[in-house]
Structures are given as structure tokens and as C-alpha cells.
Amino acid sequence: MVLLKCPICGNDVNVPDDSLPGEIVEHECGAQLEVFNSNGKLALRLAEQVGEDWGE
Amino acid sequence: MIIGVSYDLLRWEEKDIITEAKKSGFKAIPIFTKDFYSAIGVGENYSELEADVIIQRNTSHARALTTSLIFEGWNYNVVNDATSLFKCGNKLYTLSLLAKHNIKTPRTIVTFSKDKAVDLAKKIGFPAVIKPIEGSWGRMVAKAVDEDILYSFLEYQEYTTSQFRQIYLVQEFVKKPNRDIRIFVMGDEAPVGIYRVNERNWKTNTALGARALPLKIDDELRDLALKVRDIMGGFFLGIDIFEDPERGYLVNEVNGVPEYKNTVRVNNFNVSSYLLNKLREWIKK
Ligand SMILES: [Zn+2]
């Protein structure tokens, strides 16, 4: 597990080592977070809102 | 075989493709498109990417279309290619291609004027369905029971941000049972499909709560699906079909980046692994 910080509430979030960018993580503060690659390290940011061109 | 997986949101499907690829001894390379860039004509390219085939899995149609275009420009095999994604993503393009090849579709009118749209809608009858030229998951699709409501929906559409907001697409409301059919094409096969059943809502998108049930694919359905694939192009398609009590099967939409989590669950059919095997056969040729 990798210990990351929630960018919204600042609390710790555990993310599996093999997480990939674009993976969605739900956090207890209610934020929907997205894993991304920040200079070679995994980090979290607020997930993108559903876009109007999204979907199958 | 090296599989590139082009994606923006890592959904169940994308993870499953990566897992199944590894199980089959393939190398899977995730390509997160939000970190992706392309340079044209500046002596730089993405040539460090080694892939026999790139599977296009972006949730956003714009990102899917754009990255397929770029990969194709670099001579990768891309599934699906940009041309077929464009045909699928634009409902008008889909419908006119299908009509050209005598595939039955719901009766549809397209106008550039609201008054004309209401006028013509009387001919196909009410209720009528208004839908955006581009769009998914049933968004902005509405059923108008009479002329007044249809006119209101047409007005609402003008205030959306769609680039096609002043093109009005109105379709007959097909008197189908409370379900529709989603059938998957992979290469030259149509091996699996589902019924999408919704007793409460006339929209049968599983994103809107429809239930998936296994579908038995008869010869007629299989032939229809493969014919649609020949018309639309692409390697991996999800085809939406209505059952009309009088006219039989009507092709409603074709999806170029189909989701299949529920199909796998109810049919106990491994779509990712089937797709990967089909891709391997194709690449070998
Ligand atoms: Zn938080």
C-alpha cells in the first residue's frame, strides 16, 4: 500500500501499490479522487466530473 | 503480443483487459491519455511505445477519437480506429449509413428548424423521442407525448453546449417490449449479448438502472450484427437493437467503446479474453 494525502480533507488515504493513473478512489470525506502520476510518484486529485461526451 | 490500453478513467473493463492480457502472457501497456501528448512535425514522436495493437478505451468520445487519430498516424493498429469511432459517435452518421445499406432503423427526422421538426413529427406520430446527435448513457434523450412538449424539448436543446444544438433529431418511439438488445461484435464474430430490461423507465441503458439478462443469439441477429460491423467498420462494437412488433429488428445505435461488465456477469463469458484472442488472430494475419 502507498500512503497518500487526500487533497480535499488532508487525511491519509491508502492506495494499492499497483494502482494506475485514472483509478478512482472513494474517500471517507466524500470526495471522489483520481490517482495520477506526479513526477513519477502516485498522487491524488479530485476526480473529473462526468463530461457531456462521456459514455458508451 | 504487446497490448496498449488507451484510457482516461480506469473502469472495470480497462482493468479486466490488463489482467486478462497478463494472464495470457501478453504485455499490457496502460496509456493514460490525460498524461499523453503528441507532437507533429517537430521530430518527436511516441516511438518508445511498442505495441502490436492499441485498444481504445477512453470514456470521453473526444479523447477516444483524438488519440485513435494520433496512434493511426503513427501506424499502430488501433481498435477501434478513428473513422469507425466517428461513425458510431455521430447518430446521424450511423443512421444514414445504415439506411444506405438497407438496415432497418427507427424512423427518424432531422431538421434545422423547430417548426419543421414538430410538423414532421406529426407524420411519425407521438410519442416521439428527441435525442442529441452526439451523446451517451441516455443523456438528453427525452420522450415527447405531444407537439407542445416536443417544442419545449427542442427549445431546451438550444441552450445546451452541444455543437449540434441547432440540429433537431426526432425519432419515432418504438413500441418495443420493456427491453432492448445489446450485441457485441469482436472481429468477425458476434459471440455474446444481453437483453437490457427496464420495467420502470422506457430508457434501457444499464447506466440508468436497466437489468441485464443473457441473450441467445440466433442466426438472424448474428447476421445483422456482422452486417452492421461491415458498414460501420471497427473491430469491437456494441450494437443496440430494438424489437419492433411489426418490422422486426431495428438497429438503434452502435457503440465504438462498449462497456461490458454486466454482459460478462450474466453470461459468464470472458469478453476481454475473447477480444484479446481475436486481436492476436488478426495481428498474425
Ligand atoms: Zn478526503
Centre of ligand 1 to C-alpha B137, Å, is: 28
- Contact B161/A at CB under 8 A: yes
Task: Clarify whether residues B76 and B4 are in a common domain.
Answer: yes
Per-residue model confidence as pLDDT tens digits over B226-252: 999 999 999 999 999 999 999 999 999
Binding residues of A for Zn(2+): 6, 9, 27, 29
Same domain, B25 and B66: yes
Question: A28 CA distance to ligand 1 centroid (A)?
Answer: 6
Contact: B61, A36; criterion CB under 8 Å: no
| Domain limit, last residue, from B53, B86, B119 | B86
Q: Name the residue among B124, B87, B88, B126 with its Cα closest to residue B106.
A: B124
Q: For chains A and B, count residue pairs whose Cβ atoms are closer than 8 Å.
A: 59
Interstrand relation of B78-79 and B53-56 (parallel, antiparallel or unpaired): parallel
Q: Which residues have beta carbons under 5 A from ligand 1 (an ion)?
A: A 6, 8-9, 27, 29, 31
Could you tell me if B277 and B189 lie in one domain?
Answer: yes
Contact B30 A24 (CB under 8 A): no
Shared domain for B236 and B253, answered yes or no, is: yes
Predicted confidence at residue B136, as pLDDT, reads 84
Q: What is the pLDDT of residue B44?
A: 62
What are the residue ranges spanned by the domains of chain A?
1-44
CATH number at residue B111: 3.30.1490.20
Which region, left, alpha or beta, applies to residue B130 given φ > 0 means left and ψ of -120 to 50 means alpha?
beta
CB B181 within 8 A of CB B166: no
Domain identity same for B152 and B249: no
B58 is a domain residue: yes
Q: Say whether both B263 and B276 belong to one domain.
A: yes
- CA-based torsion, B133, B135, B137, B142: positive or negative: negative
Chain B interface includes A24 (CB < 8 A): yes
Q: Give yes or no for a contact between A53 and B61, defined as CB atoms under 8 angstroms apart.
A: yes
In whole angstroms, give the CA distance from residue B149 to residue B23.
53
- pLDDT score at B151: 97
Distance of CA B252 to the CA centre of its chain: 10
Residue numbering of the annotated binding site of A: 6, 9, 27, 29
Q: Is B35 on the interface with A (CB under 8 A)?
A: yes
Question: What does the pLDDT read at residue B46?
Answer: 56
Per-residue pLDDT of chain A (56 residues; tens, 9 = 90+): 999 999 999 999 999 988 999 999 989 999 999 999 999 999 999 999 988 889 87
CATH for B275: 3.30.470.20
CA nearest to B182 within chain A:
A56
H helices present in B113-212, as ranges: 114-124, 147-158
Q: Is B139 close to A55, i.e. CB distance below 8 A? A: yes
Measured CA distances, B24 to A20, B29, B172, B278 (Å):
20, 14, 46, 13
Domain coverage including residue B130: 106-170
The whole-number mean pLDDT for each consecutive block of 10 residues of chain B, a chain of 285 residues, reads 97 97 97 88 70 97 96 94 97 97 97 97 96 89 96 95 93 95 98 95 85 96 98 98 97 97 97 98 93
A21 touching B (Cβ < 8 Å): yes
- Do B116 and B201 reside in the same domain of the chain? no
Q: Among residues B253, A2, B195, A23, which one has the least CA distance to residue A13?
A: A2
- Co-location of B186 and B272 in the same domain: yes
Does a structural domain hold residue B239?
yes
C-alpha distance from residue A30 to each of A7, B11, B169 (Å): 12, 19, 39
In terms of CA atoms, which chain A residue is nearest residue B255? Answer: A56
Minimum CA–CA partner of A34 in chain B = B9
Looking at B148, B170, B192, the residue that finishes a domain is: B170
**Minimal-distance CA residue of chain B relative to A38:** B35
Spacing, Cα A7 to ligand 1 middle (Å): 7
Q: What is the CATH topology of the domain spanning A1-44?
A: Rubrerythrin, domain 2 (2.20.28)
**B39 plus B68 within the same structural domain:** yes
Q: Which segments within B8-123 are labelled E, that is strand?
A: 27-32, 53-56, 78-79, 108-111
Distance of alpha carbon B78 from alpha carbon B62, whole angstroms: 16
If asked whether residues B113 and B210 sit together in one domain, one would say: no
**Residue among A21, A22, A56 whose CB faces B257 most closely:** A56
Whole-model pTM over 0.90: yes
CATH of the domain at B80: 3.40.50.20
Domain assignment present for B184? yes
Cis-peptide into B267, omega within 30 deg: no
Same domain, B79 and B140: no
Q: How far is the C-alpha of B75 from the C-alpha of B249, rounded, in Å?
A: 37
